[in-house]
């Protein structure tokens, strides 16, 4: 029974921003459990190399190249996916942007870049991929959309992150509104709000992050790959089929301790 509850073998997933960081963690977790995974990145060579490295005996990882900051490339990505697959069981909207975000230094372009990639792109991808998501959905085993938000969208940190925090809060709300709309199509929409996970987007080094979190995370450590994989696999499997419209902090208790 446990194996059936958490089994995702044979499903098809698309993970944006999958060439590193949290997206890479998620892609590796899917492939190891038999999910045919489409990994989306901007750089053709890197995306191809990472997909080849992730593929293995248990699963298949395939590269798709797109700069998701460009609406035309978002539409092209959805069309390209449809040429390969009729069904999409799991869409992970992970691609995101950070940038200079102080009140004094932030520019209109920096604000727009963050908002467009973090909010508009996930919405447009859902629009473009609705047909394969609906084709994969059933009442017993819905199709899944997992948006990667941030605890920065749940609270105001001690540093300036105005556009980033606003964009992630917007993504959390978009998650709820899409969940209400798509639940009738047997498609669940949930968000994960990670706390500190050492990645290339983290402003400090992995070692610095590990030392700092000991002072403000109740579990006294940063997030690790298996933590992210476990939650995404739960949301993507039969075990998470009745979870819809929620944002789950994955933060070792940080939000609870504020």
pLDDT in tens, 117-163: 999 999 999 999 999 999 999 999 999 999 999 999 999 988 889 99
User: Residues 51, 39: contact at Cβ < 8 Å?
Assistant: yes
Phi, psi angles (nearest 5°) of residue 16: -85, 155
d(CA 248, CA 236): 14
Q: Is the pTM of this model over 0.85?
A: yes
254 is catalytic: no
Do 55 and 32 form a contact (C-beta atoms < 8 A)? Answer: no
Q: pLDDT (tens digit, 9 = 90+) per residue, 7-33?
A: 999 999 999 999 999 999 999 999 999
Say which residues have a Cβ less than 8 Å from residue 179's Cβ, sequence separation at least 6: 188, 189, 190, 244, 245
Active site residue: 38, 164, 216, 254, which one?
Answer: 164
Q: Which DSSP symbol is given to 240?
A: G
Give the burial class of 81: count Cβ atoms within 10 A of its Cβ; 0-12 exposed, 13-18 middle, 19 or more buried: buried
């Amino acid at each position: 029974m446990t194996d059936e509850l958490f089994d995702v073998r044979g499903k098809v997933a698309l993970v944006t921003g999958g060439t590193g960081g949290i997206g890479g963690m998620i892609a590796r977790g899917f492939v190891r459990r038999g999910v045919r995974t489409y990994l989306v990145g901007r750089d053709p060579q890197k995306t191809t190399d990472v997909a080849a490295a992730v593929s293995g005996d248990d699963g298949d990882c395939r590269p798709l190249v797109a700069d998701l900051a460009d609406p035309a490339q978002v539409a092209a990505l959805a069309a390209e996916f449809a040429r390969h697959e009729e069904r999409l069981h799991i869409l992970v909207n992970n691609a995101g942007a950070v940038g200079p975000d102080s009140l004094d230094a932030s520019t209109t372009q920096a604000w727009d870049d963050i908002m467009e990639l973090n909010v508009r792109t996930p919405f447009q991808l859902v629009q473009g991929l609705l047909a394969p998501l609906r084709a994969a959905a059933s009442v017993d085993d819905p199709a899944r959309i997992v948006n990667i938000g941030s605890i920065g969208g749940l609270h105001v940190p001690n540093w300036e992150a105005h556009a980033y925090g606003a964009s992630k809060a917007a993504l959390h709300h978009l998650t709820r509104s899409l969940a209400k709309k798509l639940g009738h199509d047997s498609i669940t929409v949930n968000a994960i709000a990670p706390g500190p996970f050492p990645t290339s987007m983290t402003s400090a080094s992995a070692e610095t992050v590990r030392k700092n979190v000991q002072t403000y995370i109740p579990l006294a450590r940063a997030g690790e790959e298996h933590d992210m994989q476990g939650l995404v696999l739960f949301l993507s499997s039969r075990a998470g089929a009745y979870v819809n419209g929620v944002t789950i902090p994955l933060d070792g208790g940080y939000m609870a301790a504020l």
